[in-house]
Structure 1
Amino acid sequence: MVLIYAVSGLVMNHRQTFDPHFSVERQSYTVNGPLPSAEAFTQEAALRLLEPWGETDHYTQHYFPEVNRLKIFLQGGSSLQVDLSTRQAVYEKLTPRPLLGALTRLHYNPGRWWTIFADVFAIGLLVITVTGLLMNRGPKGLWGRGGIELLLGLLIPLLFLFT
C-alpha cells in the first residue's frame, strides 16, 4: 500500500512532464511525393501516409483541425499529423504503461472497495504513529528526542505548505 501511494504520488507530482499511462514517442519526417488538397483528401490517401509506419490496420479517422493541417487518428491513441503545404509530418506513437497506469488509477481512488481498503490502511498508519509516540518513555520519548522528531515532522510539511 505504501509502495502504491509512493510510486503513484511521485508520478502524479510530475504529470506535467510525464504521462503515467502512456510512453510517447515522436518522429518527424518529410512526406515524399505530392499530397492531395484538403478538399480532395480521402481515406485511401490517409492509409498511404500510414504505410511507412505499418499502421494501416489501425486507422480510425482523419480530419483537418486547420487549413492544410491533417491529423490521422489511430487505434490505441497514436496519431499522424501532416502539414500539407510543407509535407512535414509528425508520427506520435503511444505505448501503454500498464503497471504505472494501474497504480495511478488506484491513487485516484476508483471505487468503493478501494476507498474502504485505503481508509482501513490510513487508520492503521494512525494507530502505528500514535502508539509509537506513546511507547517510548524518558529521554527518547515524547518529552525528549521523540518530541523533537514529532515537531520536525510537523514543521517541515508546514514550511512547504506556507512558503
Structure 2
Amino acid sequence: MNKKTRTLLNRNLHRDIGYFYVGLIIAFSVSGIALNHRTDFDPQEYTVKTETFQIEIPSDDTQITDDFLKEVAKEISEEEYKGNRKRENTIRLYFEDAFASLDSKTGKGEIEYVKTIPVLGQMTILHKTTNKWWIWFSDIFGVAMLIIAITGMFIAKGKNSFKIRGWWLATLGLIFPFIFLFLIR
C-alpha cells in the first residue's frame, strides 16, 4: 500500500469511527467527569424525601436475619425490597427507588427516597452496568478508541507530525496517569 493510500485510509477510519461514536464519547466524557466528583454530589440520583423510623431490634444479633430484614423492609416502605448489606452496627436496606440505614443496636433508622437525575443519571449507569451486551459493545468501543488514537497519530504531516512533535506530547500524556497511579494514591 502506497503512502497516499495509507494516509487516506487513516483519515477515513479516524473520521468515520469518530462520527459513529461521537455520542458515546460525549456521554462517557460527561458522566465520567461527574463520577470523578461523586464525593461532592451524587451524579446518578437525588433525594426526594427523607423519613426517620424506629423498629424493635432483637436482643440476640443472630436473629437479625435476611428474613427479619425483609419484614422490616415491609414495615418501613412500600417500595420493592432489593436486598441488604451489614457492616458493623449499620444495616443498609436497598429498595427500588430508596435506601435505608438502620442502627442494629438502637433500631433507629432513616429512609431516603430517590429519583434518577434525568440524562446524567442514565449516562452514569453506562459506567456501572454488567449487561453482557453492553460489555461487548463497550469492548468494541474500546477497540474503536484505540483505532482513533492510532490513526490520529498518522494524519498530520510535516512539522506537526507524530514523528516530529506528537511523540513527546503522547509521552507526557502517558506519564500523568502513571504519576497518579503510583505516587499519589
Q: TM-score, normalised by structure 2?
A: 0.50
Q: How many residues align?
A: 125
Q: Can you list the C-alpha shifts for 1:23-48, whole angstroms capped at 9, x where unaligned?
A: 1256799xxxxxxxx6xxxxxxxxxx
Structure 2 counterparts to residues 1-163 of structure 1, below 5 A: 1-24=24-47, 61-62=74-75, 72-73=76-77, 75=79, 76-77=97-98, 93-98=112-117, 99-163=119-183
**8 Å contact from structure 1 (residues 4, 103) kept in 2:** yes
**8 Å contact from structure 1 (residues 12, 104) kept in 2:** yes
Larger relative contact order (C-alpha < 8 A, sep ≥ 6)?
2
From the superposition, tell whether residues 130 and 78 of structure 1 become closer, same or farther in structure 2 (CA, over 3 Å). closer
Unaligned regions of 5+ residues in structure 2, if any? 1-23, 57-72, 80-96, 103-107
Q: What is the letter of the counterpart of residue 138 of structure 2?
A: A
User: d(CA) in 1 for partners of 2:166 and 2:152?
Assistant: 9
RMSD of Structure 2 on Structure 1 (CA): 3.9
User: d(CA) in 2 for partners of 1:153 and 1:97?
Assistant: 34
From the superposition, tell whether residues 21 and 140 of structure 1 become closer, same or farther in structure 2 (CA, over 3 Å). closer
User: d(CA) in 1 for partners of 2:51 and 2:77?
Assistant: 16
Q: What displacement does 1:130 show? A: 0.9
From the superposition, tell whether residues 74 and 10 of structure 1 become closer, same or farther in structure 2 (CA, over 3 Å). farther
Larger radius of gyration: 1
From the superposition, tell whether residues 92 and 25 of structure 1 become closer, same or farther in structure 2 (CA, over 3 Å). farther
Q: What is the letter of the counterpart of residue 77 of structure 1?
A: A
Q: What displacement does 1:108 show? A: 1.6
Unaligned regions of 5+ residues in structure 1, if any? 30-37, 39-59, 63-71, 82-88
**8 Å contact from structure 2 (residues 160, 166) kept in 1:** yes
- Higher helix proportion, which one? 2
From the superposition, tell whether residues 150 and 61 of structure 1 become closer, same or farther in structure 2 (CA, over 3 Å). same
Q: Which aligned segments of 4 or more residues in structure 1 are displaced greater than 6 angstroms? A: 26-29
